[in-house]
């Protein structure tokens, strides 16, 4: 069975600084990988996804993620954080048809200092 680990429960970053969120997965086949963001009081919104091709994936809101098969990782990055990026971030691995059945990590809550 697949699993996802997000080692950092909380991260505090200053506005304008760079951000990197870690995600490690376990899955026997080629993974479908996703990053979602949940702003306070909101549902989840997809930031980006990866299945194949270029291992550096661009998403919305200036985020990108890099798939590293050798490290079983799919880390999310943003060069310069804005106050509106304060939210909880979830990494997920998809199994089944087109990666439809998702397994989520525990989430990383990002706080942004002015």
- The tokens of 72 are what? 């079983």
Q: Select 15 or 103, whichever has its Cβ closest to another protein.
A: 103
Nearer to another protein among residue 29 and residue 97 (C-beta): 97
**Six-digit token pair at 10?**
């909380």
Which of 19/105 has CB closer to another protein? 105
CB of 81 to another protein, least distance (A): 22
Give min distance, CB of 55 to another protein, in A.
15
Class of residue 33 by CB neighbours under 10 A (exposed 0-12, middle 13-18, buried 19+): buried
State which residue, 85 or 94, has the beta carbon closest to another protein: 94
Say how many C-beta atoms besides its own lie within 10 A of residue 3's C-beta.
12
Buried b / exposed e across 52-87, counting CB within 10 Å, b at 16+?
eeeeebebeeebbbbbeeeebbbbbebeebeeebbb
What's the closest the beta carbon of residue 64 comes to another protein, in angstroms?
17
List interacting residues with another protein (CB under 8 A).
4, 6, 9, 32, 34, 36, 41-46, 49-52, 90, 92, 94, 97-107
């Amino acid at each position: 069975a697949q699993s996802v680990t997000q080692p950092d429960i909380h991260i505090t970053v200053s506005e304008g600084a760079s951000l990197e969120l870690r995600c490690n997965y376990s899955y026997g086949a080629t993974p479908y990988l996703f990053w979602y963001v949940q702003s306070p009081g909101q549902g989840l919104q997809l930031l980006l996804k990866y299945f194949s091709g270029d291992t550096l994936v661009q998403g919305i809101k200036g985020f990108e993620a890099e798939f590293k098969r050798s490290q079983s990782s799919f880390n999310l990055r943003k060069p310069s954080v804005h106050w509106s990026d304060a939210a909880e971030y979830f990494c997920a691995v998809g199994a089944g048809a087109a990666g439809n059945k998702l397994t989520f990590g525990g989430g990383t809550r990002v706080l942004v200092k002015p």
